Amino acid sequence: MTWRRIFTAWLAAGSAVAAQQPRPPDPLIDGTAMTKVSDHVYVIPDRNVGLVPNVGIIVGTRATLVVDTGLGPRNGRTVVDATNGVSRNAELYVVSTHFHPEHALGEPAFPPGARIVRAQAQQKDIDEFGLTLAQTFAGRSPLVAELLKDVQFRKADIFFDREHTLDLGGVRVRLLSLGPTHTRGDTVVWVEGDRVLFAGDIVMNQTFVAFASPYSSVKAWLSDFDQLESLHPLRIVPSHGMMGDAALIDQQRTVMKGIQARAVELKRGGKTADESASVVQTEFQTKYANWTAPARIAVIARTAFTEAP
């Protein structure tokens, strides 16, 4: 299955869900919903609103780090205002968990002195795919089009390969580039002393994860679960949806390993990729009926089928 077909299927899955629901809430970050989750970490929750990320603000004695900035500069300004409400630090860093519009395209609203930190792999995603997804999102509603009008990715100030550490003063934060999972440039943020993990779209809460890139790999994803579990997080903040604890990692790993094993079994039994994806889709959608985004199952199964010898 080509990347274009996978990408179209991923977008169609989201559109199909949206078509069955009432008009969704506007994709605007609500800075008043911000909550403190540990000594140094604040989260602005997404309130389960589509195209809104869970935003992180990590405050040290000397510097502050913002994780994800929202869909376009208007949302970015909301995040800036919320950050200013909890931090007076002049030194400000910004990182996106991946390059998708609701995570990275609020960055232009930040002051010129804010330093954008970006994984090399995430920059490769920007260079290859650019604003294609933003243009697709802009067609969803007049408001989304307005939020994304004339927006551009901000240039990064700091690039890193696999890992970059920030000492914010009294709290250390490790940025880890762990793709290719949801995207090639997925970046997680580990707040060491507080043991809070911003997991991006790699670890979700009772939601099937999205293989949204031609580089997405079941094998890489499973390896990343093991690496993240070794951190022993107390709190996991996904890019979207409810926060949880370390149990979220094992839940996702169990589901993905199950999909992988079933796809491999069907391949060895002579089924085609299409047949295998259809069977796995039906079985796992029934088995995990309380999980959201079930349309993503087939793409995971296809990837596992392709990777199997």
Q: Is the residue at 185 inside a domain? A: yes
Structure-token pair, residue 165: 């550490």
Structure-token pair, residue 217: 């790999």
Q: Is the residue at 258 inside a domain? A: no
Residue with tokens 């796809």: 263
172 with 192: CB under 8 angstroms? yes
Q: What is the DSSP letter of 25?
A: P
Q: By residue range, what is the domain housing residue 147?
A: 3-253
Q: Is the residue at 112 inside a domain? A: yes
CATH code of the domain containing 238: 3.60.15.10
Q: Is the residue at 166 inside a domain? A: yes
Q: Is the residue at 305 inside a domain? A: no
Q: Is the residue at 198 inside a domain? A: yes
What is the DSSP pairing of strand 235-238 with strand 196-200?
parallel
The SS3 of residue 32 is helix
Instruction: Give the closest residue to 26 by CA, choosing from 62, 70, 58.
Output: 70
Residue with tokens 């409400």: 85
Q: What is the pLDDT along the chain (309 residues), one digit of tens a residue?
A: 455 555 555 555 555 444 455 788 999 999 999 999 999 999 999 999 999 999 999 999 999 999 999 999 999 999 999 999 999 999 999 999 999 999 999 999 999 999 999 999 999 999 999 999 999 999 999 999 999 999 999 999 999 999 999 999 999 999 999 989 999 999 999 999 999 999 999 999 999 999 999 999 999 999 999 999 999 999 999 999 999 999 999 999 999 999 999 999 999 999 999 999 999 999 999 999 999 999 999 999 999 999 999
Count how many domains the chain has: 1
Q: Is the residue at 282 inside a domain? A: no
Q: Is the residue at 284 inside a domain? A: no
pTM assigned to the model: 0.93
**Half-sphere exposure (Cβ direction) of 86: Cα atoms closer than 13 Å:** 23
Q: Sheet of 163-167: strands edge to edge? A: 163-167, 172-177, 187-191, 196-200, 235-238
